[in-house]
Chains A and B, each alone.
Chain A
Amino acid sequence: MTIQNKVSRRNFIKVSGITGAALTLGLYTPTKGAELEVLKTDMAKNLGVELNAWISIDTAGKVTIMNHRAEMGQGAFQTVPQMIAEELEVDLDQVNIVFGIGNEKKYGSQITGGSSTVRSAYKHLLRMGASAREMLIQAAAKKWNVDSATCYAEKGNVIHKPSNKKFHYGELVEEASKLEMPKTVALKKIEDYKILRKPVHRQDTPLKTNGTAIFGMDKKLPGMLYAVIERNPRFVGKVKSFDDTETKKMPGVKHVFKVSVDVFSTKREGVAIVADSFWNALQGRKALKVEWDDTGFDHHSTEQLYAKMNDALKTKEGISYRTKGDAASALSKSSKKVEAVYETPYESHSCMEPLNCTADVKEDSAEIWGPIQAPGWIQDDLVKVLGMPKEKIIVNMTFLGGGFGRKAFFDYTQEAALISREIKGPVQVIWTREDDTLLGPFRPGMVYQCAGGLDEGGRISSYKFKMAGQNMDHQWPGASKDSYNGSTTEGFLESYFDSIPHFSFSDLPLDSPIPVMWWRSVYSSTNGFAYESFMDELATAAEKDPLEFRRQHLGEERYQLLINKLEEVSGWKSRKKNEGFGVAITECFSSIVGEVVKVSKKPDGKVKIDKVWAVMDCGWYVNPDIIRAQVEGSIIMALGAATKHATHFKDGKAVEKNFDTYKMVRITETPEIEVHIMDNDEKAGGVGEPGLPPFTPALTNAIFDLTGKRIRTLPFNLEEV
């Protein structure tokens, strides 16, 4: 293993010939042939002179841009470099892209969640590109002894305009690295962008079409063993005893021992089987006999969980989160009153790459490789667990075969570290698909109780929203269980808070040993169904067109423009009698997305989805094709949770184990999807998740439009509507 600062000084000087003074900047040696290697693997090395945390250029002019965020399909591997390359004035095909290791001092937050990669850092990243460009221009001007204002940068070169003299960046980087980073720098105007806001191809695509992209499970270390773990399927149950007599007789099995891993504030116990191959470890696991201790906690079933939530909603008001006026009194005075209860299921993340992690823990240092969304959290966790300082714990992000929130948690990384420490060598822990589906953490199941009143003009006069379900934040050690973080309103459109005169939002957290975690678009993924189904029910009660009803309540221009676009692209006004149209609009992670679904009946009378139109307003954006891909994918993932799969519980354990029972959307069930992007310069919003919440209510609203049947419980079978 080589990390940046371990590159020897002697080797560095020999290869790059840069002076010792520059070494303090943290320099790497350019080595020939390493290009493809760094592109596809997880470890940055030998990249040239570092101009800032994201940009290194070698003396031959090769530019390397760090991607400090997880790449789990959402396109960070492309969007981070695309922003930097625009301001740096290089083409993306001139650039090496490398995963940065976990280092929040250097990169800021690397937790890839909340659709935050662009929106949390885009101005900073643009400035990083622009500052480096300015430093290179300054260096060139100095070499030519000309005014830097007469020079400009283009395609990795600085050009002196009057004389047309040219230096490539490699000839300037040594000089540039000695300059101070400019305090202020002008960013380019949108109309001057060459690659930003253009559908440029993703640089990770070729690695994913020829098998060379390295995912977590593809990481191999010399002498590495493989581990599987038989874990207590009741989440918090314990290992009472185990008999490994037969296991130890199996070929290749090297170690069998108990492991106990932190899952929020509880422990998950199991028995690890370590062998010379995954297959042999798995055979050893089959031969293992474990007796569990499952006393002292509730063995919930799905029915019990939902009965508890429904009871709480009937008898309690809950923790109030956000209120305006007096919703209860306004409700009693309203001319029309609507009430409804909606239920959404527990879900598994079911990333295509099952959880896995590779660890090499030594006496005084540790290194981790894996499909990882939150390297900083893993470092913090391992500081506690291994008792080592943070800088001794290196966390490498490989490509992730899906993440969706699951791989931001750090139970699977702790397991790998504990096993490696125990066996004193490198190990890869692999979860089977069954482990991955059975053990969570899951998206929490929710029950929503909505009540709303209309005034005589058919406008919303009162809105009361209560939700019951497990609260993700309440699981952490020491968490206060009587406060709330505002997730009750996630997904609700900001403009409604202005237009609705009286409202209240409250939450009734459910206590259960089932672990729960962010699932693509988090609470919005389920809140959106309740909000936008209920908005439709209010529109129906008001005897208004559902799109028009929303338009009346969403005053701000940005929402009006989105509604206009949605109306136009979907042909909402010209819809025919035998077609069902449904609309839903939600807002999360600073982006607003509206979707229209069109359904009709097949000759056999069953409902089919004909088309989905989506309009995404994510403000300032990077790559329209990645946005389209993310919205398409979000819609298909939502379709699965709406109509295909759910996790049920029986006797304290999850029921669905694999794709034969946790059924995924297939290509045959995929509708035509058309995505539009609002072109504006508002603050950048998220892209990876906000397309998901509006799909399901748009679908069920369309089904109501076609059949008069209101679907309030998910999932439902489209074949049986």
Chain B
Amino acid sequence: MASIKLKINDKNYTVDVDPKMPLLWAIRDIVGLTGTKYGCGIAQCGACTVHLEGNPVRSCSIPAMAANNKNITTIEGLSADNSHPVQQAWIQEQVPQCGYCQSGQIMAATALLKKNPNPTDKDIDTAMQGHICRCGTYPRIRKAIKTASQLMGQKASVK
């Protein structure tokens, strides 16, 4: 067992867990933030994607220990009131069906747009290809990322 300090969505948590426990299970079962999902456990589906120091990572395949003292953002940290432009775009384009993979999709899209505010179709496909959606919401994910890009542009120009 190890005492690990996690800074999740600007809140500090100390968890006492098996240091090999993946970050996913520390977030879900110990900290109790269940928006991040378990899909495959082998970094194939992306449902568990969170931001570690701003970069999208597969929390199912990173030991909690590797996140010690680092900043983590989960879907809950994006915004609780759905005010983030990516969440807004997801609602506008009515992306989710079952919704299970969408936390991961949204976190990946957010990371993409941060690096590349105006992604091309190809940029979107490349950034999102690690994320599986069994419901097949891919056409709407493409649209929503474009919409989010526009919303973010508008927001930036207002500023």
Contacts and interface: CB of A to CB of B under 8 A. Distances in A.
Interface of A: 71-75, 199, 201-202, 204-215, 217-218, 220, 226, 251, 277-280, 283, 350-354, 399-404, 430, 432-434, 625, 629-630, 632-637, 658-660, 664-668, 670, 672-673
Contacts of B137: 629, 632-633
Given A279-B25, A659-B42, A660-B42, A399 B34 contact: no
Nearest to A428: B29
Contacts of A630: 97
B18 A208 contact: no
Majority-rule SS of B interface residues = loop
A491 B8 CA distance: 50
A476 to B, nearest CB: 27
Contact of A209 (B17, B45, B102): B102
Given A209-B87, A277-B29, A353-B100, A632 B139 contact: yes
Contacts of B35: 210-212
B80 interface: yes
B interface, how many residues as a size bin? 35 or more
Given A214-B34, A350-B134, A634-B136, A201 B91 contact: yes
B38 A354 contact: yes
Contacts of A430: 38
Nearest to B60: A433
Contacts of A73: 96-99, 135
B40 A279 contact: no
B132 A659 contact: yes
Contacts of A658: 40-42, 44
B97 A279 contact: no
B58 interface: no
A406 to B, nearest CB: 11
A349 to B, nearest CB: 8
Contacts of B5: none
B75 A251 contact: no
Contact of A211 (B33, B81, B90, B101): B33
Contacts, number: 186
Interface string B65-76: 000000000111
Contacts of B98: 71-73, 351-353, 399-403
B105 to A, nearest CB: 9
Contacts of B39: 352-354, 433
Contact of B21 (A72, A279, A637): A279
Interface string B108-147: 0000000000000000111011011111111111100000
A469 to B, nearest CB: 23
A215 B103 CA distance: 12
Given A279-B21, A353-B98, A629-B97, A670 B138 contact: yes
A664 B37 CA distance: 18
Which of the listed residues B47, B80, B94, B106 has the most CB atoms from chain A within 10 Å of its own CB? Answer: B94
A433 B40 contact: yes
A221 to B, nearest CB: 12
Contact of A667 (B22, B74, B128): B128
B1 interface: yes
B141 A667 contact: yes
A659 B38 CA distance: 13
B138 A667 contact: yes
